[in-house]
Structure 1
Amino acid sequence: MDGFDRFRAPPPDMLVMRPLDSMVAIFHRPSGRTHVVASPVPEILESLGPDPTDVATLLARLSERFDLAAGDREALLARLGELEAAGLVERL
């Protein structure tokens, strides 16, 4: 996976997110699966949205909300890979 990849989250009506204390339950309607996740997964999905977005743009959006440091790009790519494997994002 390189920095030229673009990703998108499912449309908002395909995900149901409910807070569970410090975690968030995400029900993915198409698969019928529920994922229990922690921050920054919900924030990544919200910042990504259903339109194709490159990693640099996503990182900029997240930087507006969080204090990100050097190396965060690689961490974001790793997290996107995990979300792709779970079926919560699509790489284009």
Structure 2
Amino acid sequence: MRFRAAPADALLQASLDPFTAVFHRPSGQTHLLVSPAPEMLAALADGPLSLSDLHDALAAAFQLEDAEGLADRMAELVAAGLVTAEPAA
């Protein structure tokens, strides 16, 4: 499974320490995210990544030991419509 962030023009983001407000234009909903969710969206902005690749990209910055917690956050982003899941190529 690979994950892709919503297109950049579909998201409007503003930092509200410690939150990041993300307005999802297609749904008209605003989501308040905390780290590492905004960083996950940023990492996915350049193209789809597997959970393993995303974990590798974020592990050093966030001291991630395993992908379980990352998978939970990814499921939340998918449920919110900010990320889509697609079959691996």
Could you say which TM-score interval applies, normalised by the shorter chain? 0.7 to 0.9
The aligned amino acid for 1:43 is E
Deviation at 1:64, TM superposition (A): 4.4
Deviation at 1:67, TM superposition (A): 2.3
RMSD (Å), alpha carbons: 1.4
Q: Distance in 1 between matches of 2:39 and 2:63?
A: 13
Query: Helix, strand or coil for the counterpart of 2:14?
Result: strand
Number of aligned residues? 86
C-alpha deviation, 1:50, in angstroms? 5.5
- Residue in structure 2 matching 1:15, options 11, 23, 37: 11
Contact 2:11 2:24 in 1 (8 A): yes
Asked if 1:46 is matched to 2:42, the reply is: yes
Q: Deviations over 1:19-64 (max 9, x none)?
A: 1121111001111110011111100100112622111111111124
Spell out structure 1 runs of 4+ moving beyond 3 A.
Answer: none
- Which segments of 5 or more consecutive residues in structure 2 lack a partner in the other structure? none
What amino acid maps onto 2:48 in structure 1?
Answer: P
Between the aligned residues of both structures, percent identity stands at 47
Please tell me whether the aligned partners of residues 18 and 34 of structure 2 are also in contact (alpha carbons under 8 angstroms). yes
User: Is the Cα–Cα contact under 8 Å of residues 16 and 28 in structure 1 kept in the other structure?
Assistant: yes
In the alignment, is the contact (CA less than 8 A) between 2:36 and 2:62 conserved in 1?
no
